[in-house]
Structures are given as C-alpha cells and as structure tokens.
Amino acid sequence: MTPRAVPITGEIHQVGGRGLTAANDAAIYLLDIGGHAALIDAGCGGAVDRLLMNVESAGVAPERIESLLLTHCHFDHSGGARALRDRLHCTVVAHALDAPFLERADQQVTAASWYRARLQPCPIDRKLAGARETLDLGGRAITALHSPGHSPGSVVYLVASAGKTVLFAQDVHGPLHPDLLSDRRDYQASLRRLLELDADILCEGHYGLFTGRDEVARFIRKFMD
C-alpha cells in the first residue's frame, strides 16, 4: 500500500481508516496549523507504521505531532493511543468520563472485546471536563464539545480552516449498546447540538467526509428521532 493522505483543506488531511491503514480503523485525521500538528483519533493500533508514513506523505514529520485528540474510548478510535504516545511523546487528550476506561483498559466498555483484541492501558494527559473547552494548536483555537450518548465521554472537535467550519464528529451514527454505556436521550440531545453548529465540513469516523452545510445537516438528521 503506497503511503498517502487525503486532503480536506490545506491544513487538514485524513491519514488513517479503511483504505489508508487497517481495515478496522476508524478515520484518523491530521491537523497541521502554523507548524504545529495533532492527530484526531488513533485507530486500532495495528498499523501505526503505515499511519506515520501517511503523515509524512502529507508533508508533516511525525515528531511534530504534539497532541492526540481522542473523540471517545472505543477501540477502533483509541487502540493505537498508547503506541502513539510512546513513540511520539505526544499529549493524549480525552474527556474525563471516558478516560478511566482507557487508563485501566476496560475491554468491554472500550469494545476491544468486540474486535477480539486487547486494548493497552493508556495514560490520559489532559482530561476534558464540562460541556466545552478550548485547545490551542499553532495559535488556532480548537473547540472540544462534550457530546455524550454513544459513550459517556464522547467529544467532538471544531476548528476553522480555509474559511470553513470543520467538525470532527467521529461516531455521529452511533451505535448505542449497553456494553458501551450508551444513553439514547443524551445521544439525541447531542445530535441536536451538532445540527446547531452549522458546520461546513463534517469529518465522520466511518461514513467519510460531508461537505456543505446542507449535506452535513442531512447526515446528522438521519439519526435523529
């Protein structure tokens, strides 16, 4: 597989997910702003070398990755977190409500057992709390919004790039399951909040890229009661 990255804006690429890294990986996105880089999500962890080659193909040296921003604790998004933290010495960010499942490697709540895999415990260096926090990358604000439902500590990230509002909302579609501590009422409330953001671009975890406010809104509404 030839290393490659899929451009979204000049500052944002998709560097992981089906067709780019391992088949079970959810989408992994790279932000490169003002010479400072971050990854959003980590995949399952079985294709870390491939992921870093894809990062390089986007013109970013892996050692420039400062942060790993996790959207939630599930294995297809977080399984590679420990390996990336060890190799890149990056700051791992997750919501405080999902952090314990990653730090103690809860195989059920993280759904690692669904993949017949073992999640490696990963320290969470910055634990988000509350409904909204602001992170900084290269002088650009990244807004982290708590969006529970799929998991207790699901987070979406919002950033302005190329004059567009870009929303990283990895599992808009769910699913909801008792093993994952999902909550339908919270999930529906989170979908309504996502709709109100009027994002120009949605970077989803499994369904790909949605461009244009109408297309983004149509996708979100598909899962609303």
Please give the backbone phi and psi of residue 76, each rounded to the nearest 5 degrees, phi first: -70, -10
Local confidence band at 1 (pLDDT 50, 70, 90 cut-offs): confident
Our count of domains for the chain comes to 1
CATH code of the domain covering residue 65 = 3.60.15.10
State if pTM tops 0.95. Answer: yes
Mean pLDDT of 189-203: 98
Does residue 186 sit within a domain? Answer: yes
Residue 78 belongs to a domain: yes
Residue 51 lies in a domain: yes
Domain that holds residue 110: 6-221
**Dihedrals φ, ψ of 195, to 5°?**
-60, -35
**Per-residue model confidence as pLDDT tens digits over 50-106:** 999 999 999 999 999 999 999 999 999 999 999 999 999 999 999 999 999 999 999
d(CA 57, CA 80): 20
Answer yes or no: is 200 within a domain: yes
Q: Position 67: which residue type?
A: S
Q: Is residue 1 part of a domain?
A: no
Contact 11, 5 (CB under 8 A): no
**pLDDT at 187 exceeding the cut of 90:** yes
